[in-house]
Amino acid sequence: MANAPVSIREVAAHAGVSVGTVSNVLNRPDVVAEHTRRRVQAAIKQLGFIRNESARQLRAGRSRTIGLVVMDVANPFFTDVARGVEDEASESGLAVILCNSDDQQAKETHYLELLEEHRVQGILITPVTGAHERLARLQRRGTPVVLVDSRSPTRGQCSVSVDDVLGGDLAVTHLLAAGHRRIAFVGGPLSIRQVADRREGAIRALDRAGISAGQLPVIETPALNVAAGRVAGAAIADLPAGQQPTAVFCANDLLALGVLQEMTTRRIAVPDSVAIVGYDDIEFAAAAAVPLSSVRQPRQQLGRTAAQLLLDEALGGASHQHRQVVFEPELVIRQSSQASPARPRAARAARRSPRPVAAPPATGCADTAAEAAG
């Protein structure tokens, strides 16, 4: 039976002091005398008083929350980013409001309005295409915005991203080195900047190898999830024999897992008939039917850094300098793109060395393991 919540006023009455004093006990305990403080604290406990955040926020002008808008929480990549954000925010006593844009303008706009109405300290966002103008306005109106996994086109905004062009380059350079010449790209919608960049990197790698860009067939997917990957895999498998690629580079691991699943179902050998390289190196990439080569991004780090920049901007105030942080991706080579493995499932102790980046052991990546221990 919800009894009315008790306010600071009643606490004051009960402790025989003024509301100002109660407020001081709450916010500046050091300025109130020992015995008064104790009396007030007793009253607080006895009445079960709970501060009203709305009232504090109204007074303060800003809420103690930050917004996080991602394309899809169901994607483990964003989950890890979210973890990083939440840990960081929590340390500053802030709550995180989580929003899924599903890469839809309408949903994104809806959530941005909601967050602005909430007067959040700031917004972390992986924007959909063409959102920049809107975000710039938001920022001008006073809500700090930090781009996550996306590079700010201007100097007037913080952003944390990973060099996706380099990532695509790494992946395809690796495939070329393994002798592949017909490489397909799976990803979409191409309107998503990350997807376009990764494809561009792939083309750059081909270019350098003297292969024309037209030589990169693109299977555009409607989304970046496993189901779309399966469909793409089927499309590849159904190509006439002459046009079949010998390697596939996927814009993310979910797609790669879908492609792999479809290949497995159709008994098309991976990597012997077709090699696969994914992107993100989510934890499940290493555990896949055929352990997946992938381009690793510092996911949790991405989230933490973004949150830090946001907090610096929101709390630090005038001294804040906008920064565009760009991380470098790292290629992790596993079985799905191994040139000609002796045995399909053998664990490989040593590796030939002339690879762009040394592949860590298949036991998974350090950051994930550390976090998992908690």
Partner DNA sequence: GCACATGGTTGAATCGTTACATAACCCCCG
Partner DNA sequence: CGGGGGTTATGTAACGATTCAACCATGTGC
Binding segment toward its own copies, per CB under 8 A, in 18-26, 121-129, 240-248, 287-295:
287-295
**Partner whose footprint covers residue 142, from DNA, its own copies, none (CB < 5 to 8 Å by kind):** its own copies
Q: Distance between CA 52 and CA 58 in Å, rounded?
A: 10
Residue (37 or 334) nearer to DNA, CB: 37
**Is residue 98 a contact point for its own copies (CB under 8 A)?**
yes
Q: Which stretch binds its own copies (CB under 8 A): 19-27, 128-136, 204-212, 365-373?
A: 365-373
**Could you say whether residue 362 binds its own copies (CB under 8 A)?**
yes
Q: How far is CA 314 from the centre of its chain?
A: 21
Is the distance from CB of 367 to CB of 204 less than 8 angstroms?
A: no
> Smallest Cα–Cα separation from 74: which of 246, 238, 254?
254
| Binds its own copies by CB under 8 A, chosen from 29, 153, 179, 222 | 222
**How many chain residues touch its own copies (CB under 8 A)?**
80
Tell how far CA 299 is from the center of its chain. 6
**Nearer residue to DNA within complex by CB, 34 or 238:** 34
Stretch near its own copies under the rule CB under 8 A, chosen from 26-34, 138-146, 199-207, 209-217: 138-146
CA distance 304 to 315: 16
Residues with Cβ within 8 Å of 186's Cβ and at least 6 positions away in sequence, in order, are 218, 219, 221, 229, 232, 236, 248, 249, 250, 251, 255, 256, 259
Select from its own copies, DNA, none the partner in contact with residue 363, using the beta carbon and a kind-dependent cut-off of 5 to 8 Å: its own copies
Among 267, 319, 321, 342, contact with its own copies (rule: CB under 8 A)? 267
Q: What is the CA radius of gyration of the chain?
A: 26
Q: Considering the rule CB under 8 A, would residue 65 count as an interface residue with its own copies?
A: yes
Q: In angstroms, what is the minimal distance from the CB of 331 to its own copies?
A: 20
Contacted entry of DNA, its own copies, none for residue 24, CB cut-off 5 to 8 Å set by kind: DNA
Q: Which of residues 9-68 bind DNA (CB under 7 A)?
A: 9, 16-24, 26-27, 31-33, 36-37, 49, 51-52, 55-56, 58-61
Q: How far is the CB of 108 from DNA (least distance, A)?
A: 23
CB 89 within 8 A of CB 66: yes
Q: How near is the Cβ of 103 to its own copies at its closest, in Å?
A: 9
Interface segment toward its own copies; rule CB under 8 A; list 24-32, 91-99, 209-217, 239-247: 91-99
**Nearest distance, CB of residue 24 and DNA, angstroms:** 6
Residues sharing a CB contact under 8 Å with residue 146, sequence separation 6 or more, in sequence order: 122, 123, 124, 125, 157, 158, 159, 160, 306, 309, 310, 313
Handedness of CA 130, 132, 135, 137 (dihedral sign): negative
Give the interface segment with its own copies, choosing from 109-117, 174-182, 198-206, 322-330 (CB under 8 A): 109-117
* Residue 189: cis peptide before it, omega within 30 degrees of 0: yes
Q: How many residues appear in the chain? A: 374
The greatest distance separating any two alpha carbons of the chain, rounded to the nearest whole angstrom, comes to 89
Strands 293-296, 330-332: pairing is antiparallel
235 binds, among DNA, its own copies, none (CB under 5 to 8 A by kind): none
Residue 73 within binding range of its own copies, rule CB under 8 A: yes
Which whole-number Å values give the CA distances from 39 to 15, 22, 175, 180, 267, in the listed order? Answer: 6, 10, 72, 77, 75
Nearer to DNA, 32 or 302 (CB): 32
The strand pair at 145-148 and 122-125 is best described as parallel
Residues that bind DNA (CB under 7 A): 5, 7-9, 16-24, 26-27, 31-33, 36-37, 49, 51-52, 55-56, 58-61
